[in-house]
Homo-oligomer: A and B are copies of this chain.
Amino acid sequence: MTGEPVKKRANVRDVARAAQVSVATVSRVLNGGVRVAQPTRDRVEAAIHQLRFVPNSAARAMNSGRSRLVGALIPTLDQTIFARFIDALEAELDRHSLSLTVASTGGDPAREYDRAAKLLDLGVEALVVSGITRSAGFEALIDRYDVPVVATSYHDPGYRFPTVGYDNAAVARLALDHLTALCHRRIAVLSGPTTFNDRTRSRVGALGTPGLIQMSTEFSFAGAADGVDRLLEQAPDLTAILCTSDILAQGALARLATRGIAVPDRMSVIGMDDLPSSAHVFPTLSTVHLPAKRMGQHTAEAVAAWVERGQVPPHLCLDAYVVHRASTRAL
């Protein structure tokens, strides 16, 4: 940066000398709390200002034994659903004076492990992960560092780490029930890859009804479009497509429009997530609402309670419900 030859940053001793007090007094001024006589305080503050002193955070962290850093391991930031979660998580952590350091894993447990190791090495006080599928060494790593871990986007009371999330199987069933209640029988399930992704796996797994066509594609707008093409080729008499995510559903909607297949007249489409945009696409998308934002808030609360007061948070299952919009209709 602006490299003056040797302009060593001032430290407490420098300030103490300049203000003609002891370092203990400087520290007291810095941290408030303890009483310091006004004239003394003024002298110290003047010295701080004059020497452009800023306390060294590492030294402070060393004493307190707290980094005030929380690490989050996310499959990808580049996806609206995670972005919303992270946004809320960050905002809520901030209210507890905790900062959020992110690392993306690409959904790969091996990468998750590596990034977790780095984050731990960096000194994070807690880790937020996604789902319940971990690489082999993960638990040992956590044991070594002995750090709180909260798993999100998933609800599983039996999991070793507290989970804050949804009952993905129930979420999928909600969507399916919605379609069957509308008398649909020839239904396809369009999902992202299930390898490594236990959230998707749970959703798809819950849809074991015989007769459902399962189709797995890349998890993206483009992947969904491709999936729709393959689906229609395979089963031209389909009347409904159940997508395990709104991104996929929106992609499907776009492709159906391109192909001139009217939604919901000739085809019903339902998603899961309830992204903000889903209420505004054409036709507006029926979906299962998942409270991503609230999940972020609850996760932050859980982490904060754990690191601040040692309270291991309970598992938390967030409510999901169907939002019936224009993309589904009765046969």
Chain A residues numbered 116-153 whose CB sits less than 8 Å from any CB in chain B? 118-123, 143-148
Known contacts A1-B148, A68-B122, A121-B57; A280 and B306 CB within 8 A of each other: no
Known contacts A250-B277, A310-B3; A123 and B58 CB within 8 A of each other: yes
User: A103 contacts the other chain (Cβ, under 8 Å)?
Assistant: yes
User: A67 contacts the other chain (Cβ, under 8 Å)?
Assistant: yes
Pair B90/A77 contact, Cβ less than 8 Å:
yes
Complex formed: what's the CA distance from A69 to B62 in Å? 16
Pair B77/A87 contact, Cβ less than 8 Å:
yes
How many residues of chain A get a CB closer than 8 Å to chain B's CBs?
Answer: 71
Q: How many copies make up the complex?
A: 2
User: A220 contacts the other chain (Cβ, under 8 Å)?
Assistant: yes
Chain A residues numbered 35-83 whose CB sits less than 8 Å from any CB in chain B? 52, 54, 56-59, 61-62, 65, 67-69, 76-80, 82-83
Complex formed: what's the CA distance from A87 to B221 in Å? 18
User: A102 contacts the other chain (Cβ, under 8 Å)?
Assistant: yes
User: A84 contacts the other chain (Cβ, under 8 Å)?
Assistant: yes
Complex formed: what's the CA distance from A68 to B279 in Å? 41
Contacts of A54 in B (CB 8 A): 120, 144-145
Pair A77/B86 contact, Cβ less than 8 Å:
yes
Pair B77/A67 contact, Cβ less than 8 Å:
no
Known contacts A3-B310, A280-B254; A102 and B103 CB within 8 A of each other: no
User: A94 contacts the other chain (Cβ, under 8 Å)?
Assistant: yes
Contacts of A119 in B (CB 8 A): 99
Known contacts A99-B118, A122-B68, A280-B221; A146 and B1 CB within 8 A of each other: yes
Contacts of A315 in B (CB 8 A): none
- Shortest Cβ gap from A7 to chain B (Å): 9
Contacts of A115 in B (CB 8 A): 94
Contacts of A310 in B (CB 8 A): 1, 3
Chain A residues numbered 179-238 whose CB sits less than 8 Å from any CB in chain B? 220-222, 224-225
User: A251 contacts the other chain (Cβ, under 8 Å)?
Assistant: yes
Known contacts A67-B57, A144-B52, A280-B251; A94 and B103 CB within 8 A of each other: yes
Residues on A close to B: CB < 8 A? 1-3, 52, 54, 56-59, 61-62, 65, 67-69, 76-80, 82-84, 86-87, 90-91, 94, 97, 99-104, 115, 118-123, 143-148, 220-222, 224-225, 247, 250-251, 253-255, 257-258, 276-277, 279-283, 306, 310, 312
Could you list 11 further interchain pairs (A-B, Cβ under 8 angstroms) beyond the known A58-B58, A94-B103, A102-B102?
A58-B61, A77-B83, A77-B86, A90-B102, A97-B118, A100-B103, A247-B277, A250-B277, A255-B280, A257-B257, A258-B283
